[in-house]
Amino acid sequence: MIERLHDDNAIAWRPTDYVIARAQLTRFISFCGLATFDELYRRSVTDIEWFTEQVVRFLDIQFDKAYDRIVDLSRGGQWPRWLIGGRLNIVRSCLDRWEDTIVARQPAVIWEGEEGDTRELDYADLLIEVERCAAGLRACGYGRGDAIGIHLPMVPETVIAMLAINRIGGVAVPLFSGYGPSAISSRLRDVNAKALFTCDAFPRRGKPVNAKQVADDAVADCPEITRVIVVRRMRVTAPMKTGRDLTWDQLLATGDMAGGAARQIELTDTEDPLIAIYTSGTTGRPKGILHTHCGFPVKSAQDMCFGTDVGQGTRISWITDIGWMMGPWLIYGALILGATIILYDGAPDYPQPDRMWDFCERHEVEILGVSPTLIRALAAHGDQWVEKHDLSSLRIFGSTGEPWNPDPWRWLFENVGQRRVPIINYSGGTEISGGILMSNPLLPIKPCAFSAPCPGIAADVVDENCDSVRGVVGELVIRKPWIGQARGFWKDAERYLQTYWARFPNVWVHGDWATVDADGHWYILGRSDDTLKVAGKRVGPAEVESILVGHESVIEAATIGVPDELKGNTMVAFCVLAPGEAGSAKLAEELRERVAAGLGKPLRPEKIFFVQALPKTRNAKVMRRVIRAAFLGEDPGDTTALENPAAVEAIRQAGK
């Protein structure tokens, strides 16, 4: 067990009576005939069938055939089946349901590109475009069960393509827009994809990223791909292969000629595959996380509604990519709830450091989803860039991707949100379809903490015997099934069982260290496989890193353990310095002593290295296992999700 606990015990935000009264979660509690969040949570985990039915009814999920029963656990908690006997294509709940309502003329998607262009589609327009795209896919010969890749930035066509694939009963395979050819081809081959959506190019910091060339190189290794559909994002010249490639406009024109029947929604079963989202494995090939029509979208909408208080007309933006689960989460959740998705496609601090705040002001964003990494980067530019803008439309910050350090949390809460806007901390994963833990508008919030588990998630913190513990650090687990639970890994059931179910019987082990304090607030302290053990003492990397980034010269840090003959392991830290700061032996020693003062001399880092960047995934997670492997000269395993592979080489050189 890790001995140290989080020491910030002050309540930073409490909901006002107005916030409580207007909250969607308040509506749901009343809908269930209950009075308090605590009542709701207790019943949600003691009676999962009751809770699931209440959620499905509250969200008004549209069925083509009613289900016979809620859940089938005959194969055990590892393999539940939900809404048995029902027929459900989730696109009907996202779009068709709004056709004859006032929502039809409400904005569904508002988009802004890095270059300043904007576009808007209302719900009626979006339905028409999805129908046309679906008809075009059918005309190309694709249908139920076919996997189709999406290699696009966050543009309106990304939303349309994903829903069109689902509309014909296909399986969407979202891919990070910045992936290289090998990362794309390995995923497309794994899922036997039949087609790929890409674009000519997209801008990042004013320079075009040649997406089409990357896609062509990837598809050269994918003989199953028969069509590449190219969105003209920047309208630059891109090579087109005769007989295989179609522009987006050509695909839709093909759909227009196909007739009305081709636009109709496929009648899928509740447990038909909907989406395969790939995450990086520690070793070997990436994991394809499989989700169904009744799983991922329902859990997404539930968390978005109850945690970030999204309802009809709410304007929500999340700084993400379609290849990270928060991209599909944003699309399914917002459209099921009748909200407005505000997309930004570009670098969030370009051409000026206030781009994000200007974007929020102009589009009147209400819910803004960020990562701690993004906030650290924006905070480094200074407060003056925030102060230029009227951010009164903001009422909730969502945060996910990694644990917070206290200083950037407080900067966002105090300097940007003016202590008015709560930070709804959110942690779970692709395999969860969203969150295990999530703050919400009804409960007080502490810095860096989670107010509670998500309703319906039987979360617990346990010791090595799987006994519940409080006030100390243990493994984060889930004791009962939930509707968003992954339906395994694509073509690899055994790997799925080994990853999450092998340690304790019938208990999901998520791989995070967590603790619950005396007031019932939860904390994530990092991945349990990242834990450091130095001189017999265990410490989470996040504890060390919080002390390091608390120094005014440091904006990011990562800590690893390396073998040591005397101590067994010793600690090495890598720090990214603020603009204008220079690394020196004096600063390194100052940082080492800062950690020793905070955690004790035995936990003082042996060495501190200054680097330009830390290796991260495109969803902003610091890859400590890659850092450790590079430093020790070992095989880092799967690195295809890295946003900045050049950062690995700098760390490898440091280890020599």
* Interval 25-49 mean pLDDT: 98
532-654: which CATH architecture?
Answer: 2-Layer Sandwich (3.30)
* Residue whose token pair is 């610091």: 622
Residue 283's pLDDT is what?
Answer: 43
Torsion sign across C-alpha atoms 586, 589, 595, 597 = negative
Tell me where in the chain the CATH 3.30.300.30 domain(s) lie.
532-654
CA distance 103 to 116: 27
According to the CATH classification, is domain 96-100+117-274 in 3.40.50.720? no
The greatest distance separating any two alpha carbons of the chain, rounded to the nearest whole angstrom, comes to 75
User: pLDDT value at position 597?
Assistant: 83
Mean pLDDT of the residues in the chain: 92
Model pTM? 0.88
220-260 confidence digits (pLDDT tens): 999 999 999 999 999 999 999 999 999 999 999 999 999 88
pLDDT score of 546: 83
Dist. CA 447–CA 523, nearest whole Å? 10
Residue 203 clears pLDDT 70, i.e. is over it = yes
**First CA to last CA across the chain, in angstroms?**
32
Q: Supply the pLDDT for residue 285.
A: 63
For residue 4, the model assigns a pLDDT of 37
CA distances from 301 to 163, 259, 330, 542, 646 (A): 15, 33, 9, 30, 37
Q: Alpha helices, DSSP H only, in 47-142? A: 48-58, 90-94, 123-139
Q: Phi-psi region for residue 429, left (φ > 0), alpha (ψ -120 to 50) or beta?
A: left
Residues 416-435: what's their mean pLDDT? 96
Q: What does the pLDDT read at residue 598? A: 77
Lowest mean pLDDT among 148-157, 467-476, 479-488, 589-598: 589-598
pLDDT of residue 190: 93
Long-range pairs for 506-510: beta carbons < 8 A, 24 or more residues apart: 506/76, 506/77, 506/78, 507/462, 507/466, 507/477, 507/478, 507/479, 508/77, 508/477, 508/478, 508/479, 509/475, 509/476, 509/477, 510/429, 510/432, 510/436, 510/475, 510/476, 510/477, 510/478
What torsion, rounded to 10 degrees, do the Cα atoms 183, 186, 190, 192 define? 100
What pLDDT score does 626 carry? 87
Task: Look at residue 536 and tell me whether its pLDDT is greater than 60.
Answer: no
Is 559 in contact with 547 (CB distance < 8 Å)?
no
pLDDT over threshold 60, residue 282: no
Q: Is the pLDDT of residue 88 over 50?
A: yes
pLDDT of residue 280: 63
Residues 6+ apart with CB under 8 A from 36: 29
What is d(CA 337, CA 60) in angstroms, rounded to the nearest whole number?
9
The neighbour count for residue 335, using CB atoms within 10 Å, is: 28
pLDDT of residue 2: 35
Q: State how far the Cα of 393 lies from the Cα of 391, in Å rounded to an integer.
A: 5
Comma-separated ranges of CATH 3.40.50.980 domains in the chain = 96-100+117-274
- Residue 367 Cα distances to 12, 126, 319, 633, angstroms: 19, 22, 11, 43
Query: How far is Cα 297 from Cα 292, in angstroms, rounded to an integer?
Result: 8
Residue 16, C-beta contacts closer than 8 angstroms, at least 6 positions apart: none
Q: What confidence tier does 535 reach under pLDDT thresholds 50, 70, 90?
A: low
Q: In the structure encoding, which two tokens stand for residue 326, read together?
A: 């928060």
Residue with the larger pLDDT of the pair 625 and 608: 608
Choose among 123, 203, 202: nearest CA to 163.
123
